[in-house]
Amino acid sequence: MRLQDALDRIRERDRVMRHRESQQKYFEKNREMVNEKKRIARAGG
């Protein structure tokens, strides 16, 4: 295997991992906002 191929593969895997992480963070933030809206609605705000 050529070194460049290995580097490309590692870089691609790193990019995919970062993408998944940012999606996870976005999802968690979104869920927090939804929970906050539900809490406000329950409080009658």
Q: DSSP readout, 1-45? A: --HHHHHHHHHHHHHHHHHHHHHHHHHHHHHHHHHHHHHHHHHT-
In the numeric block, the tokens 């999802």 are attached to: 27
Whether residue 45 is predicted with pLDDT greater than 90 in this model: the reply is no
Q: 44: pLDDT confidence band, cut at 50, 70 and 90?
A: confident
pTM (predicted TM-score):
0.58
Whether residue 15 is predicted with pLDDT greater than 70 in this model: the reply is yes
Mean pLDDT of all residues in 14-23? 97
